Structure formats: structure tokens, C-alpha cells
């Protein structure tokens, strides 16, 4: 087994932004740019005590005994590749993972990878655990829901740079599942296929079979990068159809206008329906 850090470990994940686009733009030069990017990051990470756990394609997975060393490595790595064509997102998380003969296992590994995936090229993101062990300048990006993780994670950005919103389920009213979603991949694939051919899909089944859970898992996977376009409208408790426009408007954050007639209410309902379709 490699000499990997044990106990409290800080993980650093990296990923190249827009690698397919860069491949088309740089052509034969992409291989040289990628090799230089790898050399520069390895040098920066090792200089701050990083141990390479794994590399797949254009992504790195490093482990550090020191959270401060990991953050310093990420900052040095970004500076080292700043002049190149390749932009890299980085994510850091600190925990106490289990170390097996195959490497690290546990939720901390997944959390670090998800934090990295939420960022953009040139951006370095930290979990709350890593932030608590550092005193560098950070920008609080607030709590975020990450794919496949039920609990929210408060995420911080290294430095004060401006980037697009994170690729997370941030501004959404999707409920947080109490347990992980296991299996049913065939059903997910079939519902996903049907959504590709229609704008309205209804799942039908006996009570308790898992229709809502299946639907929530699908939109969570599909919309993690478009979270602002996802909303849940709860209709089960409504006593009459006339309450549907209000419930829909509330879920979508659309202000309602007082209505003086059923005709105006009908027009308002139509506007809300069109807004929901655009969302």
C-alpha cells in the first residue's frame, strides 16, 4: 500500500473545465498543454506535502496531512497554470476517511469530488471542515445541496474572484431525501428517455410505490447544473382546483395579482402555466 496520509486528511480534487471544447480548439496542441498542466500541478501539490492518490484523464486526486498545506497547494497550482489555455476547477474537503488496500473510501471522498464538480475553471472551493482549519481570505458562498448527498454543505471560495453560480441544487425547493437513492436505474433511464420526447410526463402507480422519490431523483440528476429551473409544486393537500394557481405561483416565486373576476383568474393561471413551462 502506498504511503497515504491517515487520520484527519484533506482531499484536493481537480478537473479541467471544457476539456472537449479545448481538444477541438487546440487540436494536436492539446496533448502538450495537458502534459504541461499535469507537470505544473504535480510540482505545486508535492511542494506542499501532497500525495497523489489517483489520476483519471485530466483530473487529479491528492491527499494532504495538513489542511493549510492543501489550500496553499491549490492556490499555488492555480497560479502555476494561470497563463496557460487550460482552466481547472478545484475542490477541497477535510475528514477522517477509511483507508483500505484499494485506497480511501467513505463519504468524505464523495463530498470532496462533488465540491470540485460544483465549481468553474480557475475557482477553488472549500468545505466547512477545510475552512475551519484555515485562516486565508475566503468568500462565503452559502449552503448548497450536492448531488447524491442528502445534507447541505456550506461552501467557501478561495479569494474574492467573481464566477458564475455554482453547479449545485442551490435555489430550489426540492425536498432533501432522508436516505440515499439505491437501484432503480432502469426506471430512471426509461423516464429520462420519455422526457426527451414530451414536455409533460405523469408517473402512475399505487400509493407508496415510490413515484415521487423516482421523480425527485431524476430531476436532481438532470438539473444539478440548472437548479434554478426546478421547483416542486405540492398539490396533494389542495381542496379545490381553484387553489392550483396560487400553489404554483408560490412554488415558482411568481407574485400574484389580485383578481376581480374569474376571467382575470383564468388569465393569471395561464400566465403562471406559461411561466412554469419556460422555467
| Spatial separation of the C-alpha atoms in residues 248 and 231, rounded to whole Å | 9
The separation between CA 135 and the C-alpha centre of its own chain, rounded to angstroms, equals 25
Structural domains of the chain in order of their starting residue, each with its CATH number:
9-158 (3.30.70.1230), 171-232 (no CATH), 233-279 (no CATH)
Grid coordinates given for 57: 484523464
DSSP 251: H
Q: What angle do CA 69, 38, 25 make, to 5 degrees?
A: 130
Nearest to 221 by CA among 252, 253, 177, 178: 177
Percentages helix, strand, coil for the chain, rounded to the nearest 5? Answer: 40, 20, 40
Altogether, the residues listed in the chain come to a count of 279
CB neighbourhood size of 263 (10 A): 9
**Residue 249: beta bridge partners?**
none
pLDDT in tens, the chain (279 residues): 468 999 999 999 999 998 888 888 889 899 999 999 999 999 999 999 999 999 987 899 999 999 999 999 999 999 999 998 999 999 999 999 999 988 999 999 999 999 999 999 999 999 999 999 999 999 999 988 787 676 788 999 999 899 998 888 655 666 666 666 777 888 888 888 887 788 788 888 888 888 888 887 777 666 554 545 677 787 878 888 888 888 888 776 677 666 544 455 555 555 555 555 454
Cβ burial 104-125 (10 Å sphere, 16+ → b, else e): beeebbbbbbbbbbbbbebbbb
- Match 425527485 to its residue by C-alpha cell: 216
CB neighbourhood size of 145 (10 A): 20
**pLDDT by residue (tens digit) across 34-89?**
999 999 999 999 999 999 999 987 899 999 999 999 999 999 999 999 998 999 99
Amino acid at each position: 500500500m502506498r504511503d497515504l496520509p491517515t487520520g484527519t486528511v484533506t482531499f484536493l480534487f481537480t478537473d479541467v473545465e471544457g476539456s472537449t471544447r479545448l481538444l477541438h480548439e487546440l487540436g494536436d496542441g492539446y496533448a502538450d498543454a495537458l502534459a504541461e498542466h499535469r507537470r505544473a500541478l504535480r510540482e505545486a501539490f508535492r511542494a506542499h506535502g501532497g500525495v497523489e492518490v489517483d489520476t483519471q484523464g485530466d483530473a487529479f486526486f491528492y491527499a494532504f496531512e495538513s489542511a493549510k498545506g492543501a489550500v496553499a497547494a491549490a492556490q499555488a497550482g492555480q497560479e502555476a497554470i494561470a497563463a496557460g489555455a487550460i482552466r481547472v476547477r478545484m475542490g477541497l474537503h477535510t475528514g477522517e476517511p477509511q483507508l483500505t488496500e484499494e485506497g480511501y473510501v467513505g463519504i468524505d471522498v464523495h463530498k470532496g469530488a462533488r465540491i470540485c464538480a460544483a465549481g468553474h475553471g480557475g475557482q477553488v472551493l472549500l468545505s466547512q471542515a477545510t475552512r475551519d482549519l484555515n485562516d486565508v481570505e475566503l468568500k462565503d458562498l452559502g449552503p448548497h445541496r450536492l448531488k447524491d448527498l442528502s445534507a447541505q454543505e456550506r461552501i467557501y471560495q478561495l479569494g474574492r474572484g467573481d464566477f458564475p453560480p455554482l453547479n449545485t441544487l442551490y435555489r430550489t425547493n426540492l425536498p432533501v431525501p432522508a436516505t440515499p437513492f439505491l437501484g432503480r436505474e432502469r426506471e430512471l433511464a426509461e423516464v429520462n428517455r420519455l422526457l426527451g420526447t414530451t414536455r409533460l410526463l405523469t408517473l402512475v402507480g399505487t400509493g407508496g410505490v415510490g413515484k415521487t422519490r423516482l421523480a425527485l431523483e431524476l430531476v436532481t440528476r438532470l438539473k444539478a447544473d440548472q437548479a434554478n429551473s426546478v421547483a416542486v409544486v405540492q398539490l396533494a393537500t389542495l381542496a379545490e382546483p381553484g387553489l392550483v394557481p396560487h400553489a404554483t405561483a408560490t412554488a415558482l416565486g411568481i407574485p400574484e395579482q389580485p383578481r376581480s373576476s374569474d376571467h382575470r383568474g383564468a388569465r393569471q393561471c395561464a400566465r403562471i402555466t406559461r411561466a412554469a413551462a419556460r422555467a
